[in-house]
Amino acid sequence: MATPKTKSKAPKLDEIAAAAIDLAREAAEDVSGADAVGEHVAAIAISSDRVVTHYFESQLDGYADWQWAVTVVRASRAKVATVNEVSLLPKDEALLAPSWVPWEERIQPGDIGPGLLMATPDNDPRLEPGFSATDLPADADTTEWVQLRSTVAELGLGRERVLSRYGRDEAAERWLQSDPGPMDDASREAPGNCGTCGYFVALRGSLGTLYGACTNQYSHSDGKVVHLDHGCGGHSDVVESSRARELPAPAFDTMGVDEVLFD
């Protein structure tokens, strides 16, 4: 058998608390200044028979469609109300800030600037443990240790963490879609690709099979990673057919003065 639903009794509007409009206005003005508090809008009983919230229009710059809410309360058998809380609340049509997003989700590519420290997660899938000399047994021969350390340094492996296969693949895919990739306007109009250019320096490791750095100071890709099939108008095979003619030395120097002409 279903039990009947009981209706909760609405709180009664306390006359003394509802009449404390001036008290509520003074409290709001103490917080924001007299110019920021507008007309009284309503007095609403909340949660208890002796608790009333007074609403005032907001005149605060930048807070259109907001309102001041001042809650006053009257103690049992008291003849006056006192201020409980002052707050600024948005109306339904008010402009609100976007939902908070954690910093690690807000950071975007290229956001790391001078003085900004961005810690790398210890479980970053783009990295994996590298090889260092500490991996050598404690009783290893000194000569062997020195030789191994030199070899490790030459190969670029003497780092605590190195790029994982996932990290290399992710970088290669990202660069493929960027400006130094093979599908931009400069590459389509270039006389040759970067892989055949003398200014192209390949990267080391597996990324070097697809990417390198441009060293042509006149190219828009100078100092950037470029794809083998990327290109620009500064290809090294485009050679000027004639050189500027070098002028011979003058037969008589009309610019310099070697001796005093007048005493």
Domain boundary assignment for the chain: 15-90, 127-163, 166-227
Q: CA 260 to CA 263: how far, in whole Å?
A: 7
Please name which of 160, 168, 180, 174 lies closest in space to residue 206, comparing C-alpha atoms.
168
pTM beyond 0.75: the answer is no
Q: CA 180 to CA 213: how far, in whole Å?
A: 10
Q: CA 36 to CA 28: how far, in whole Å?
A: 9
* Average pLDDT over the chain, rounded to an integer: 82
Instruction: Dump pLDDT digits (tens) for 143-186.
Output: 666 666 666 565 556 677 778 889 989 988 888 887 777 878 88
Instruction: Dump pLDDT digits (tens) for 210-238.
Output: 999 999 999 988 999 999 999 999 899 88
Report which secondary-structure segment, H or E, holds 54: strand 51-58
Largest separation between any pair of C-alpha atoms in the chain: 133
The CATH number corresponding to 15-90 among 3.10.450, 3.40.30, 1.10.287, 3.40.140 equals 3.10.450
Q: How does residue 22 score in pLDDT terms, banded at 50, 70 and 90?
A: very high
Report which secondary-structure segment, H or E, holds 70: strand 66-73
Write down the pLDDT at residue 162.
79
